[in-house]
Amino acid sequence: MAEQPREDLVNLTIDGRPVSVPKGSLIWAAARKLGIEIPIYCYHPKMEPLGACRMCFVAVEKMPKLATACTTVVTEGMVVRTDTPAVKKGRQGTLEFLLINHPLDCPVCDKGGECDLQDFTLRHGPGGSRFDVSKRHFAKPIPVSEQILLDRERCIACQRCARFCQSVAMEDGLAMQERGFRTEVGVDPAAPFDSIFSGNVVEMCPVGALTAKSYRFVSRPWELKKTGSVCGLCSVGCNVRVDVRVDKVLRQYSRPNDDVDDGWLCDRGRWELDAINSQERLRTPLIRKDGLLQPASWDEAMRLVAGRLREIAERDGPGAVGGIGSTHTTNEEAYLFQKLLRAGLGTNNVDHHHGRFPAAAPGAVLPWAWTDSIAGLERASDILILGADPYHRQPIVDLRIRKAIRAGARVHIVTPEPNRLDRLAATVLRYTPGHTGEIARALLNVVTAEGLTRGEFAAQRAATVEARRASVANDTPEQVAETAGIESAALRALARDLAGAEAAVILYDEMATREPSGATLAADLLDLALLTGNFGRPGAGVGPLMEDNNSLGARDMGLLPDTLPGYRLVADQDARAALGAVWGATLVGEPGQTYEEMLGGGVKALYVLGADPARHLADAQLTHLNGFEFLVVQDMFLTETARRADVVLPAVAYTEKDGSFTNTERRVQRVRQAMQPLPGAKADWEILVGVARALGLSWRYLTPAEILSEIGRTVPLYAGASRRALGELGACWPLSPGARTPEGRPTVSGSPFLTWEMFERGVAPSGVSGATGAAGPELAVARGREE
């Protein structure tokens, strides 16, 4: 963060202590900087000041009345006091008022122990009440949604919930109803509260008025062990606090990281934690004996896995074994998995289920990741959502898009199905499912055919632009309208909008690339961004919204048959040599088999880690899974695939181990162990270390942190990564080592957005070093188009 210029700072004193804060700051924020608590209810730092609850009184010199710290902007030389008798009386008065109608049912309130009404009453309130008349009563909790209950007697009418629904989520939901002392929160019966963001109101509610069904009467807050971590449910990677009671995860709360989640969580991340607490989880290794999977010891199972893999590799060559990795496990585990196959078994047969991104080729550029960031959306003038559904699949990205809309962005929704953002969009276009690729080409067609290319990149590459024009010459909107059933005139207008946009972000779903028409979708959209100048600055960019919590990390870590960690080609002699030296192995230069090839029977022994390929196979193909000579599955559950395995190794959930995930905006973030591993199961990295040892490899990793440090040393994209350097908030790759903090902690600096120059320098995943060669960087499609 840049230093604030001095003239933009305002100096004031609070309780006699000087403080400087940026112009426009509220007294509340200035006091917070000094560590002075000013109690608040209605104010929420992510929403506009409201001034309703009258809790945050302070005395400001020369102001006749008490001021509300949440609405009063600091001025130069301001003298603020938070400790005068008048301030105390004001705050006590408000608390006394709030308590007159409060049921005081703290002993049976889920919020008790983490309730601002309790806490502020203790710290700022009157010790007693003079209220000796009748309280207002309401029927005790009423459901306001499937998951949330409302106790109107506990409500202090701070409006946080209603304002969240209206102004942050911009969805129907809670609203203030009635007036005066009859004020209550409620829902419009005609507009049910079914937002995926609903749970935020439970967390924001300063009292126990809004409670989650799933947490009701389940625990007292002080019984919870709270661990800062990252949510493992989708590719956004919201920062969370995992709240565990004994051996159960009860909920995830937000651990605000403004760059990622802006302090919000979706209901999936908050509540859909059943898998972790499931009774169905595997608690012991299983080995197939007499045709049945039977409990076995870890020692026996790991020995068997190592022995059989080695045996088959020696008998039929390393190409006879292969591994399918996971989009859920940590970077450390993905890294170890491919290392086990490459260095331990001598094969590049490693892959995972992923989107279709054009393969690496010399000179090609492969930023198959979002080139901008989640926070960057706020700076976009236009956002195109093509064939994606962030509301359901990456909800907190959807929420950020809503914030961008409030900041003035125009959103263009081009999807087969109705989208939750339609109501707020500038453009809404529908098309026949499966045709996303054609739409991308039609956009490119308009931009090139109408001469709408913009920016230096296009200006310097007339020949490439011409080649690109020719390659999509037939993909006119009118043509695509025929096949994809989309409105051609609107599509044409959209292309022009993108070309004329101040800063556009183009987002598509990773899995849209797997459609029949999607082979070049990623490349076409990257080119669209490059040719329209929507690249290389915040608020402009392009990229896939990834499927799972570590879909991008899996790629980064080399769970691909043709690339080593950090997208260096296996064919790259230098890269192989460098890694081989660290790993103490000679690496193979031939690309290995793909996911489909291995599952199609290309290997005799298959090691499946944290994946369930049976889900992606047609019934007819399922028999392939029975055809392997040796199938190992490492998973939390006895999946369809695991049922067919020879050995099943029980793994633990992300809440039970340390490590890191890389989210859809390239942010590498630490995941922390929040609970004891399920007895009988082990973390994937631990299992891999055990198997490697059984294979005779001298792996000595004792903690995931050691693995991450090795990644930080060997993978240029993750240069400098370590448990300590990633800190609380993580950083977006490409990473580079930063200066140490005064306390001596190492740091890394990240790249919130990718620039063209990064590829020229070869810092970003530029396929091969040839990117800086004589030809210079070219359009993605020009070289690397074919799979």
Subset of residues 497 to 536 that bind another protein, contact rule: CB under 8 A = none
Rounded CA gap, 653 and 326, in Å?
Answer: 13
- Per rule CB under 6 A, is residue 111 in the interface with ligand SF4? no
- Per rule CB under 8 A, is residue 156 in the interface with another protein? yes
Stretch that binds another protein, among 179-187, 319-327, 356-364, 611-619 (CB under 8 A): 179-187
Nearer to ligand SF4, 54 or 392 (CB): 54
Nearer to ligand FES, 55 or 617 (CB): 55
Nearer to another protein, 175 or 414 (CB): 175
- Per rule CB under 6 A, is residue 87 in the interface with ligand FES? no
Identify the bridge partners of residue 605 per DSSP, sorted by sequence position: 321, 630
Given CA atoms 708, 709, 714, 715 in this order, what sign does their dihedral have? positive
- Which residue matches tokens 């209603």? 162
- Per rule CB under 6 A, is residue 160 in the interface with ligand SF4? yes
Helix or strand or coil: residue 377?
A: helix
Rounded CA gap, 622 and 643, in Å?
Answer: 12
Tell which one of 21, 26, 40, 98 touches another protein (CB under 8 A): 98
Within 8 A by CB and 6+ apart from 487, the residues are: 429, 481
The verdict on whether omega for the bond into residue 734 sits within 30 degrees of 0, i.e. cis, is yes
Whether the Cβ atoms of residue 723 and residue 331 lie closer than 8 Å to each other: no
Question: CB of residue 592 vs ligand FES: minimum separation in angstroms?
Answer: 60
- Per rule CB under 6 A, is residue 205 in the interface with ligand SF4? yes
Subset of residues 353 to 372 that bind ligand SF4, contact rule: CB under 6 A = none
Counts for the chain of helices (H) and strands (E), in that order:
27, 30
210 interface partner picked from ligand SF4, ligand FES, another protein, none, CB below 5 to 8 A per type? ligand SF4
- Per rule CB under 6 A, is residue 46 in the interface with ligand FES? no
Within 8 A by CB and 6+ apart from 277, the residues are: 248, 249
Tell which one of 25, 41, 175, 501 touches ligand FES (CB under 6 A): 41
- Per rule CB under 6 A, is residue 144 in the interface with ligand SF4? no
Would you give the end-to-end CA distance of the chain in angstroms? 41
Subset of residues 99 to 138 that bind another protein, contact rule: CB under 8 A = 100-101, 130-131, 133-134, 136
Tell which one of 34, 46, 47, 54 touches ligand FES (CB under 6 A): 54
Nearest to 284 by CA among 304, 300, 298: 298
- Per rule CB under 6 A, is residue 158 in the interface with ligand SF4? yes
Given CA atoms 131, 135, 141, 145 in this order, what sign does their dihedral have? negative
Report which secondary-structure segment, H or E, holds 780: helix 780-784
Nearer to ligand SF4, 174 or 689 (CB): 174
Q: How many residues belong to the site for ligand FES (CB under 6 A)?
A: 12
Q: How many residues belong to the site for ligand SF4 (CB under 6 A)?
A: 14
The CA-atom distances, in angstroms, between 352 and each of 340, 557, 613, 718, 733 are: 15, 11, 9, 20, 21
Pairing status of strand 541-545 against strand 605-609: unpaired
Question: CB of residue 158 vs ligand FES: minimum separation in angstroms?
Answer: 7
Rounded CA gap, 744 and 727, in Å?
Answer: 13
Would you state the structure tokens that stand for residue 766, as one six-digit string? Answer: 């530029």
Residue by residue, DSSP assigns 724-780 as: HHHTTT-EESSBEEEPPPTT---EEE--SS--HHHHHHT-S--SSGGGGSTT----H
- Per rule CB under 6 A, is residue 264 in the interface with ligand FES? no
- Per rule CB under 6 A, is residue 55 in the interface with ligand SF4? no
Rounded CA gap, 4 and 613, in Å?
Answer: 52
89 interface partner picked from ligand SF4, ligand FES, another protein, none, CB below 5 to 8 A per type? another protein
Tell which one of 196, 210, 364, 695 touches ligand SF4 (CB under 6 A): 210
100 interface partner picked from another protein, ligand SF4, ligand FES, none, CB below 5 to 8 A per type? another protein
Question: CB of residue 408 vs ligand SF4: minimum separation in angstroms?
Answer: 28
Tell which one of 19, 31, 52, 486 touches ligand FES (CB under 6 A): 52
Nearer to ligand SF4, 29 or 53 (CB): 53
Subset of residues 740 to 759 that bind ligand SF4, contact rule: CB under 6 A = none
Rounded CA gap, 639 and 635, in Å?
Answer: 8
- Per rule CB under 6 A, is residue 511 in the interface with ligand SF4? no
Nearer to ligand SF4, 43 or 391 (CB): 43
Stretch that binds ligand SF4, among 6-14, 153-161, 515-523, 734-742 (CB under 6 A): 153-161
Rounded CA gap, 513 and 58, in Å?
Answer: 57
Tell which one of 25, 68, 72, 200 touches ligand FES (CB under 6 A): 68
DSSP state of 109: -
Angle made by CA atoms 583, 585, 589, in degrees to the nearest 5 = 110
Whether the Cβ atoms of residue 458 and residue 438 lie closer than 8 Å to each other: no
Tell me, residue by residue from 334 to 373, as one string, x for binding to another protein by CB under 8 A and - for no binding.
----------------------------------------
- Per rule CB under 6 A, is residue 102 in the interface with ligand SF4? no
Question: CB of residue 735 vs another protein: minimum separation in angstroms?
Answer: 43
436 interface partner picked from ligand FES, ligand SF4, another protein, none, CB below 5 to 8 A per type? none
Rounded CA gap, 143 and 458, in Å?
Answer: 57
Stretch that binds another protein, among 153-161, 608-616, 637-645, 669-677 (CB under 8 A): 153-161
Tell me, residue by residue from 47 to 66, as one string, x for binding to another protein by CB under 8 A and - for no binding.
--xxxxxxx-x-------xx
- Per rule CB under 8 A, is residue 71 in the interface with another protein? yes
Report which secondary-structure segment, H or E, holds 404: helix 395-406
Angle made by CA atoms 167, 171, 177, in degrees to the nearest 5 = 75
56 interface partner picked from ligand FES, another protein, ligand SF4, none, CB below 5 to 8 A per type? ligand FES
Rounded CA gap, 124 and 142, in Å?
Answer: 31
Would you state the structure tokens that stand for residue 693, as one six-digit string? Answer: 């040892």
| HEC assignment per residue over 428-491 | EEECCCCCHHHHHHHHHHHHHHCCCCCHHHHHCCHHHHHHHHHHCCCCCHHHHHHHHCCCHHHH
List contacts with another protein (CB under 8 A): 49-55, 57, 65-66, 71, 89-90, 93-94, 96-98, 100-101, 130-131, 133-134, 136, 156-157, 159, 175-176, 178-183
List contacts with ligand FES (CB under 6 A): 40-43, 51-56, 68, 70
